[in-house]
Structure 1
Amino acid sequence: MKRVTIHKHEAALVYRNGVYQRMLEPGRHWLLYLTEKMVRYDTLQPFTPPQDLNVYLHDAKLADALIVVEVKDTEIALQYENGLLKKVLTAGRYAYWKSVIRYEFVHVNISEAEIAESIDKTVLHHKLVAPYVRNYIVESYEKALLFVDGQFRRELASGAHAWWKNSTAIHVGKVDTRQLQVEINGQEILTRDKAALRINAWAQYRVTDVGKALLHNKDYERQLYILIQLALREYVAAFSFDELLDKKDAVALAVDATALGVEVLGFGIRDIILPGDMKDIMNQVLMAEKKAQANIIMRREETASTRSLMNTARLMDDNPMLFKLKEMEYVEKIAEKISTISVTGNNGLIDGLKQIFVTPK
């Protein structure tokens, strides 16, 4: 015989020739020296026996000392210790010692995609639980539809949404409800007078019905592009080239996209690109117009200049003193360009100069 001591927060299992016999609680106990062996366990840790758990649960004393948790194939169990989440248990059978640790187990059915409202959202973001959860975010400017296994279920509000990660197919279709813009570039269109033009345009739109956009139409954005493209071609074909140029900045294009769940808010033509031969013709027209404008301006200036000369001549004819002042003005201008003057001649030259600079009485 030998005597053994089981300490506090311990338990021991006694085996005889490899076969489980009994459980020893804290205290002093006797063992058969040669045939019985003892295995100690920390009761603050989970119980992990070397053999199948059912072998030990036949002992009523041991069964009463354990907490047995069974997790089904379609479940996970959240293990809490003293109120704190410590582990996520998958399908299987688990045993824990009844001790000072307060164990709680929350069983969750993950065969269904929907998450029960009783589970706090903070738990779903815990690092232990996150691998079992699918998360989706719907922004405040978005509308979304939920599809489960390919079937439409409901419209989702803005915010965070989560589902259990399992074999159920989850798809969230999102639509941006802000004002958006589509570019319609490089459109080669004939005008009413058969002028071939390349047009770059734009359209602004907003999704107003997410159900029509996603459920009733495939690739609604592509359909909207084609709808606007056809409307643009019809609009341009109704005008001649000159009329289109005049209306370029005031395009009135009506596009009905309600069947797509879309409202077209605005439309405009950004560029009208002419082919090479048309450019040459337009340049010639422009040059001719500018030349004509230049000729008109030159004639207008010449007429004004002639009229001014006639008025000046009429004034000088009526006023000899004004004529004399004009002569002196020109003489002054000439004198400014001359540095020295050498005068030679008889008294007739002096008298001639006097006549220029002296006003007769």
Structure 2
Amino acid sequence: MLKPITIQADQRGLLFHKGSYVKRLLPGTYRYFSWSQHTVAVLNITKPFSVESKDLQLFLQDEELLRELDVVRVQDHEIVVHYEDGQFAQVLKPGVYAYWNLLKKHTFVHTDIRQPELPAGIDRSIIAKLTPYVQCCEIASHELGFLFYDHSLQRELAPGKYYFWKGPVSVLTKTVDLRQQQMDLIGQEIMTEDKVTLRLNFVCQYKIVNPQRVLELKAYDEQIHIQLQLLLREYVGTLKLDELLKQKEDVASFILSRIQEKEDAFGVRFLGAGVKDVILPGEMKDILNTVLLAEKKAQANLLTRREETASTRSLLNTAKLMDENQTLFRLKELEFLEKICDKIGSISVTGGGDLLERLSSLISVNK
């Protein structure tokens, strides 16, 4: 009894006899006796070449079959990007793959992941589809990057976006900020020469000019911080409290000049420095406030005494002039009479005589 097998135009057949591969079958109808132990595997040529429970190497000996297949071998150190008709299809891991080349054109981009950076042949538009295999690094416009493979420095990275394979090589990028930066020393407790413990808030501006030198230093910002602390203690410890309060600007000038001597060692350029605040202990504040209050009171008393002395001297000069000049004395009397009249509602004078003489006589009587 014959068993018919039909192979469509988009199919190929693989003939087996007693489980062993014999040959490929083109589209058409084939008949085999049921007792002949022939079997046929029908494959869709739009799909990858794959036969269940059979190794691919078994079919690669057939030259006729090979002419209809694209075979790609992916080594352990490779990743292959597979395109079908120019469009991304998939990423191939190590192994051997075969694809029918009858209806579709297959292209493969081999990349050696021992060289981690993605090659130029891979279109950046498909990066999102490669996320499980790729890591990204971004360098901002104000930064300079450094690329390390297995902790070994390779090169500098300009601002931009970079992609690397996740492979056997460890990829690390470090960035250095090239903008002007500020370091604050908050609440530095320092003792002056006269044994007064106070707290200083100090600020320093700097900019990195040698990024590679900065990378060579472990926690370079902490080292700068400690150096500033030491310089502050060195300078403030030689001053008394009163001198420090008068020479705050000199503190900044001294610290800046001394720290600039170490610019090459730190790989930075120090631009400015200053004392923001001098914070005194509570008891010392009370003492200084008392002293300040006493000084202000003494100044006020001095001004008062000066004004009193000037007023007395003025009165004395006036009295002398009136003693020497009766007309001036008379005018002064009239001035006082005018002031009295301004404050009195009515005046009654009895008797004869001139009104002005009578008023004058009243004042003379009172005197």
Would the aligned equivalents of 2:3 and 2:34 in 1 still touch at CA under 8 Å? no
* Aligned with 2:291 (options 285, 288, 294): 285
| Residue in structure 1 matched with residue 308 of structure 2 by the alignment | 302
Q: Deviations over 1:4-53 (max 9, x none)?
A: 44332222233445444432222x32211524444332211212211111
Higher helix share: 2
Query: d(CA) in 2 for partners of 1:52 and 1:131?
Result: 28
Q: For structure 1, list consecutive stretches of 5 or more residues without a partner in the other structure.
A: 336-340
Match of 2:137 in 1: 136
2:279 aligned with 1:273, yes or no?
yes
Judge conservation of contact 1:317–1:323 (CA < 8 Å) in 2: no
Match of 2:365 in 1: none
CA shift for structure 1 position 319: 6.6
Residues 1-361 of structure 1: matches in 2 within 5 Å?
1-26=2-27, 28-35=28-35, 36-50=38-52, 51-116=54-119, 118-120=120-122, 122=124, 126-215=127-216, 217-250=217-250, 251-252=252-253, 253=255, 254=257, 255=259, 256-257=261-262, 258-303=264-309, 305-306=311-312, 318=328, 320=330, 323-335=333-345, 347=350, 355-356=358-359
- RMSD of aligned C-alpha atoms? 3.1
Q: How many residues end up aligned between the 2 structures? A: 346
Q: Could you say if the C-alpha distance between residues 349 and 294 of structure 1 is closer, same or farther in structure 2, counting changes exceeding 3 Å?
A: farther
Judge conservation of contact 2:11–2:45 (CA < 8 Å) in 1.
yes
Contact 1:144–1:174 (8 Å) recurs in 2 = yes
Closer, same or farther: CA 34–333 of 1 in aligned 2, 3 Å: farther
Query: Which amino acid in structure 2 is aligned with residue 160 of structure 1?
Result: K
Whether the 8 Å contact between 1:142 and 1:176 is mirrored in structure 2 is yes
Identity %: 38
Q: Residue type of the partner of 1:196?
A: T
Residues in 2 aligned to 1:127 and 1:271: alpha-carbon distance in whole angstroms: 52
Q: CA deviation at 1:349?
A: 12
2:32 & 2:349 partners in 1: Cα distance? 169
TM-superposed CA distance for 1:73, in Å, is 1.1
Describe the shift of the 1:322–1:41 C-alpha distance in structure 2 as closer, same or farther (beyond 3 A). same
Do the aligned partners of residues 319 and 146 (structure 1) sit closer, same or farther apart at CA in structure 2, a change above 3 Å counting? same
Q: CA deviation at 1:104?
A: 0.4
Deviation at 1:352, TM superposition (A): 8.0
Alpha-carbon deviations, 1:41-89, whole Å to 9, x = none?
A: 2211212211111222333332222111111111111111111111111
Structure 1 distance, partners of 2:24, 2:137, is 51
Can you give the 5+ residue segments of structure 2 that lack an aligned partner in the other structure?
361-367
Partner Cα distance (2:168, 2:21) in 1? 42
How many angstroms does 1:177 deviate by?
Answer: 1.6
3-state SS, counterpart of residue 302 of structure 2: helix
Deviations 1:294-335 (A, max 9, x none): 113323443555566668776896174564354233432354
Q: In the alignment, is the contact (CA less than 8 A) between 2:109 and 2:121 conserved in 1?
A: no
Q: Distance in 2 between matches of 1:155 and 1:282?
A: 57
Tell me the distance in 2 between the aligned counterparts of 1:47 and 1:266: 71
